[in-house]
Amino acid sequence: MLLCAFGSASAWGQTGTDAQIDQLQRQLQQQAAELAELRSRLDQRDAYFAPSNVANPNSCDDTSLQRLPLVAEVPLDFQCDGTPVDQSYYKLNYFADYDNGFMIRPFDKEEFPFELKINGWGQFRYHAFSRGVTTWTDNAGITRPVRNRDAFDIERARLMFSGHFLDRKLGYLVLLDGDTDGGHTVDFFYYYFRWQVCDSFELQLGKRKVPGTRQWLMSSRRTRLVDRPMSLDFFRPNLTVGLFGVGKLGETGHYEAMVGNGYFSSNAPNSSSDNELTFAFTNYFDPWGAFGEQIADIDYSEQPLIRVGHSFVYSPQQGVVDGVPIDEADFIRLSDGTRLTETGALGPGVTINSFNVYLYGVDLAWKYRGWSVDAEVFLRWIQQIEADGPISREQLFQHGFYVEAGKFLIPGVLDINARYSQVSGDFGTGREYGAGMNWYPLKTSRMKISIDAVKLENSPLQNTASDIMVGDTGTLIRSQFQAEF
């Protein structure tokens, strides 16, 4: 710009006037002011990035890091006389980000203690079952068909909102779930408030999983085969509304305790619940270091890692209250798949009125350099059984287990896995044999393509989530695309 100005001055020497001289001087003064403003901005930038204001990379203290407010310039609105209506900028208190999920965060966490994180994931699946028998007969003497079937399915389409509000210790979580085998509806799967009482203890109030059995508490995105083991789904509890305590035990321990409405009262209204409460506790230790969320060793652990734990649930149940059947008690089945509350399950024409459930599980997991093994044993006592007539027994004992193992053939990309699970009791034994593979095309667990084959014998489980139905004897093939953000 200065060169242009001096060029104009040279031309003036030949043809200029006094008016042109004045105009040129004004241009020079304006350009000088612009240069001064630029120098001031550069000086401010140099002062901010001076060594005294930059965090020491070798220091653990990050207090010298500064977060600058974002200022957005917007077009001005003018009045009729040409004066601006409002200021030319606005200060933004929040910004959008991505940190293992979409985030809305404040610049000043103390002045604006609010944060929102959005996650989502889905599982698109195809399953096909080829039956080995045509019917099965339960302990009440009812014969039912076993069908061949195949279908495309969106098993889990979930959207989760989490964060904190009012205070960084006061948090929330809302998890929406939709699937095609659940009537194509969207369900509030999880929703609770949480209060961080101290560094080692958190109180949660709302609806979430009953803390009993290990792999049930882990995400369905982390299963070794397409879905969880048959024996786990047979014994595990479900979701309930209640009070939950989550905490740490020493450096490597974790525990959860609960008192809630029921063992399997996920969406049961109060009108379909009894007047009993359920109690549950689980805990594990990682003595060789943090085991992480993954069962399979996708991170290719350089040191052996192990997790050992156990779980306990006590849940009194009332099958019939004042002559009205209670839906909550329908989850318990005999080891042949017969519903315990079905008329005739334990005696001709007799219906169970009440019973108490005691569940205990022990779990163990290990992984190292792509290899991994996990297993869990279940013991369930059903006692104090009362009915409206004579029954064959007043208590039942059921037990089962699963064991899984796998190996990454290509670290972080391709693994193979195998599983065996079993359910046994006074009325028969059901078995599951399975094998499959997982491909992580982007070298991250956030996208996974899976395929497995499962052989079933006398399934006592009814679970549309795993595509296993009660009475199944035959072969189940499943393939699944899973992605998350």
Q: Which residues contact 222 (CB under 8 A, 6 or more apart)?
A: 293, 294, 295, 296, 445
**Structure tokens given for 55:** 């965090």
Q: Is 34 helix (H, G, I), strand (E, B) or coil?
A: helix
Q: What is the dihedral of CA 28, 30, 35, 37, to 10 degrees?
A: 160
pLDDT attached to residue 181: 81
Q: Which helix (H) or strand (E) holds 480?
A: strand 474-484
What backbone phi and psi angles, to 5 degrees, belong to 403?
A: -140, 135
Looking at residue 119, what is its pLDDT? 97
User: What b/e string do you get for 346-366 counting C-beta neighbours within 10 Å, with b at 16 or more?
Assistant: bbeebbbbbbbbebbbebbbb
Residues 6+ away with beta carbon under 8 Å from 25: none
Distance CA 245, CA 256 (A): 6
Alpha-carbon span 244 to 257, nearest angstrom? 6
End-to-end CA distance of the chain, in Å? 50
Contact 239, 189 (CB under 8 A): yes
Strand partners, 320: 325
Q: Domain spanning 96-484 has what CATH number? A: 2.40.160.10
Instruction: Count Cβ atoms below 10 Å from residue 198 Cβ, excluding itself.
Output: 9
The candidate with the shortest Cα–Cα distance to 284, out of 253, 259, 306, is: 253
DSSP bridge partners of 398:
380
The strand pair at 324-325 and 320-321 is best described as: antiparallel
The pLDDT assigned to 36 comes to: 80
Backbone angles phi, psi at 37, to 5 degrees: -65, -40
Please, are residues 391 and 346 in contact by the beta-carbon 8 Å criterion? yes
Domain spans, the chain: 96-484
For the chain, which residues score pLDDT lower than 70? Answer: 1-16, 42, 44-90, 269-273, 319-329
Residue 436 and residue 444 in contact, taking contact as beta carbons nearer than 8 Å: no
- At a CB cut-off of 8 Å and minimum separation 6, what does 275 contact? 318, 321
- Tracing tokens 């009482």 back to the chain, one arrives at 197
What pLDDT is stored for residue 301 in this prediction? 96
